[in-house]
Amino acid sequence: MGNFSITRQLTLHYVVSTAALLLLAGGFLYWTLRRNLDHTRHALLASKIEVLRVLLREPDKMAALTSEVEHEASESHPLRYYLRILDEQNRVLLETPGMKDLAPVGLFPDPVETSAESINNIQQKSQSGRSLLFLAVQAVAGLAGTEKRTLQIALDTSSGSALLADYRRKLMTVLALGVLFAAVAGVWVARKGMQPLIEITSTAQHITASQLHERIAGTRWPEELGELAAAFDAMLDRLEDSFTRLSQFSGNLAHELRTPINNLRGEAEVALRRCRQPEEYQQILESSLEEYDRLSRMIDGLLFLARADNPKAALERTRFDARKEIETVREFYDAWAGEQDVEVAFEGNASLNGDPMLFRRAVSNLLANALQHTPARGRISISVRANDHQAVEVIVDDTGCGIAPEHLPKIFDRFYRVGRVRAERPGGTGLGLAIVQSIMRLHGGTASIQSRVGQGTTFTLEFPARN
Ligand SMILES: Nc1ncnc2c1ncn2[C@@H]1O[C@H](COP(=O)(O)OP(=O)(O)OP(=O)(O)O)[C@@H](O)[C@H]1O
Ligand SMILES: [Mg+2]
């Protein structure tokens, strides 16, 4: 059933339930009709037996008895019956005209004593194209009640049976028509119900990479599909965002690679223009080394980001002391901080479950940024603590130049650097914060920034509570 179309499934359900309903209702009515018919027949038989018994016992009622027995078994009567009275030697005393051929004496069952028993002793037989009920019961004649008689009654049930047969035929017709109608209605209803889905599908089919801005949501969808359409649109939003970032990224990448390579090329061309002294070559090679350095740092960073982007990237987690790792990073930058005349303070304590090497790399990127943007006599403070929600927070705060609000939303993007800094510090790759963010993502945490121009910047790394 799994890959049956929904239309077919719905139609099938429709047909099955309609058929079941009709069968149940029709069957019940048929059963009631049949029971009523049986009831009427039995009542008639019982009343006839009683009448005959009474008439038999009273000798002066002979005329009434004869007229009762020899009544015309009229064709038009819905319950046609035949009566016969036999004496002890099974000789026919009286019988309804026409009974001899239709219900001969021999066809009747042996007579039973009481009329109550006789109702249970009814036999149904077909005789010359008619269906009949046969019943025989003992009786006595005369006031003394000494003469034994046998009463034979045959009831022609053909018209009732024909009624039932007709009812069955009609029931079948209604059933067939009902099923047919249910099938047609099922297909129609299902198609109508599926229409919005078909529309969503056709819209979705038109969306390509270049048309990611198209959306399917609107007020016209039925409630159940509205959510699907909204979810679909949300997915398109995310895809479009990723696409835009990706295409920006490749544009930026080309741009970022061009600069150092142009520099290197320019230097080589200038150097080759004429013969030079060994010191000049040395100088040129030294300045090339800086470019190579930058290129190789950029490539390292890109490789790191690519690996971290891989959905299968997993952390090698160990529990480590965050304080010790931050201390190591701080020591590494000690000389530089001294040179810059910037104080680096550190406080707090926490233990973390994660990759200590990546943790150092994130803190180191933040501290390097802070050092780069904090002027002499500035202050950088690093703190680590578990917050109210048991999440571990690492905060790197500086008193540097700060970042204008318009740059903040993009500050974690790859290659994004604030304009002025880009010119001042050609050595930076613009990947440092992107790497911080992807390290945080690997840990299931977040990186956030707060900054005010001229006052300083605060970066907060939050590691989730389960760590
Ligand atoms: N503490 C800070 N104060 C002021 N501006 C900052 C600070 N940290 C980062 N920035 C701004 O954010 C930009 C992006 O930083 P990011 O670390 O990603 O790149 P980068 O430092 O330029 O390059 P790299 O980290 O590879 O040396 C920086 O160029 C700088 O403009
Ligand atoms: Mg940096």
Q: Pseudo-torsion of CA 294, 300, 302, 307, nearest 10°?
A: -170
Nearest to 214 by CA among 196, 236, 241: 236
Both structure tokens of 392: 């571990």
Q: Is 380 helix (H, G, I), strand (E, B) or coil?
A: strand
Give me ligand 1 centre to Cα 301, in Å: 14
pLDDT (0 to 100) of residue 76: 64
Give me ligand 2 centre to Cα 365, in Å: 5
Closest ligand to the CA of 371: 1
d(C-alpha 407, C-alpha 184), whole Å: 62
- Whether the pLDDT of residue 72 is over 70: the answer is yes
Give me ligand 1 centre to Cα 417, in Å: 6
Neighbouring C-alpha atoms within 13 Å toward the C-beta of 290:
12
Q: Could you identify the atom of ligand 1 that is nearest to the CA of residue 396? A: 1
d(C-alpha 266, C-alpha 407), whole Å: 32
What does pLDDT average to over the chain? 88
Pocket residue to mutate for ligand 1, from 408, 417, 436, 455, most atoms within 8 A of Cβ: 417
Q: Do 158 and 75 fall within a single domain?
A: yes
Q: Could you identify the atom of ligand 1 that is nearest to the CA of residue 422? A: 29
- Whether the pLDDT of residue 119 is over 80: the answer is no
Give me ligand 1 centre to Cα 16, in Å: 69
pLDDT (0 to 100) of residue 434: 95
Instruction: Assign 126 a pLDDT band (cuts: 50, 70, 90).
Output: confident
- Whether the pLDDT of residue 346 is over 90: the answer is yes
| pLDDT average, residue stretch 313-332 | 93
Question: 336-363: b or e for each residue (b if 16 or more CB lie within 10 Å)?
Answer: ebeebebebeeebebebebbbebbbbbb
Residue type present at position 137: V
Residue 204 lies in a domain: no
Q: Do 287 and 374 fall within a single domain?
A: no
* Domain boundary, last residue among 277, 307, 337: 307
- Where does 58-157 have alpha helices with state H? 62-69, 99-102, 115-120
Say what the pTM is.
0.61
Binding pocket residue ranges, ligand 1, CB within 6 Å? 365, 369-370, 373, 398, 400-401, 403, 411, 416-418, 421, 428-434, 457
Residue type present at position 51: V
Residue 205 lies in a domain: no
Give residues with Cβ within 8 angstroms of 362, minimum separation 6: 394, 435, 436, 439, 440, 447, 461
Q: Do 18 and 140 fall within a single domain?
A: yes
d(C-alpha 113, C-alpha 119), whole Å: 11
Residue 432 lies in a domain: yes
Residue 173 lies in a domain: no
- Where does 75-157 have alpha helices with state H? 99-102, 115-120
- Where does 322-431 have alpha helices with state H? 322-340, 356-373, 419-424
Q: Do 286 and 375 fall within a single domain?
A: no
Domain count, the chain: 3
What DSSP character marks residue 252? H
| pLDDT average, residue stretch 408-417 | 91
Greater confidence, 361 or 249?
361
- Whether the pLDDT of residue 218 is over 70: the answer is no
Q: Do 267 and 318 fall within a single domain?
A: no
Closest ligand to the CA of 396: 1
Residue 203 lies in a domain: no
Instruction: Assign 407 a pLDDT band (cuts: 50, 70, 90).
Output: very high
Question: Any idea what the CATH number is for the domain that residue 386 is in?
Answer: 3.30.565.10
Least confident of 157-161, 343-347, 374-378, 400-404: 157-161
pLDDT (0 to 100) of residue 75: 66
d(C-alpha 72, C-alpha 361), whole Å: 117
Pocket residue to mutate for ligand 1, from 369, 418, 425, 440, most atoms within 8 A of Cβ: 369
Residue 151 lies in a domain: yes
Give me ligand 2 centre to Cα 429, in Å: 7
Calculate helix-pair angle for 278-309, 223-272, nearest 10 degrees.
170
d(C-alpha 22, C-alpha 16), whole Å: 10
Shortest-distance Cα residue to atom 25 of ligand 1: 432
- Whether the pLDDT of residue 95 is over 60: the answer is yes
* Domain boundary, last residue among 283, 307, 331: 307
Q: Do 281 and 362 fall within a single domain?
A: no
Percent of the chain with pLDDT over 70: 95
Give me ligand 2 centre to Cα 138, in Å: 120
Residue 190 lies in a domain: no
Task: Give the H/E segment covering residue 255.
Answer: helix 223-272
Give me ligand 1 centre to Cα 155, in Å: 109
Domain of residue 258 covers 223-307
| pLDDT average, residue stretch 150-179 | 90
CB of 359 within 8 A of CB of 415?
no
- Whether the pLDDT of residue 328 is over 80: the answer is yes
Question: Any idea what the CATH number is for the domain that residue 71 is in?
Answer: 3.30.450
Greater confidence, 466 or 40?
40
- Whether the pLDDT of residue 128 is over 80: the answer is no
Q: Do 393 and 325 fall within a single domain?
A: yes
- Where does 273-321 have alpha helices with state H? 278-309
Q: Could you identify the atom of ligand 1 that is nearest to the CA of residue 420? A: 31
Q: Is 163 helix (H, G, I), strand (E, B) or coil?
A: helix
Nearest to 429 by CA among 260, 276, 265, 310: 260
Q: Do 387 and 249 fall within a single domain?
A: no
Q: Is 86 helix (H, G, I), strand (E, B) or coil?
A: strand
Task: Give ∠ CA 204-210-213 in degrees, rounded to 5.
Answer: 60
* Domain boundary, last residue among 150, 167, 184: 167
Residue 404 lies in a domain: yes
Pocket residue to mutate for ligand 1, from 371, 413, 433, 448, most atoms within 8 A of Cβ: 433
Q: Do 243 and 349 fall within a single domain?
A: no
Q: Do 332 and 457 fall within a single domain?
A: yes
- Whether the pLDDT of residue 378 is over 90: the answer is yes
Q: Could you identify the atom of ligand 1 that is nearest to the CA of residue 370? A: 1
Question: 24-39: b or e for each residue (b if 16 or more CB lie within 10 Å)?
Answer: eebeeeeeeeeeebee
pLDDT (0 to 100) of residue 333: 96
Q: Do 447 and 322 fall within a single domain?
A: yes
Give me ligand 1 centre to Cα 205, in Å: 42
Q: Do 148 and 265 fall within a single domain?
A: no
Q: Could you identify the atom of ligand 1 that is nearest to the CA of residue 427? A: 27
Closest ligand to the CA of 415: 1
Shortest-distance Cα residue to atom 17 of ligand 1: 432
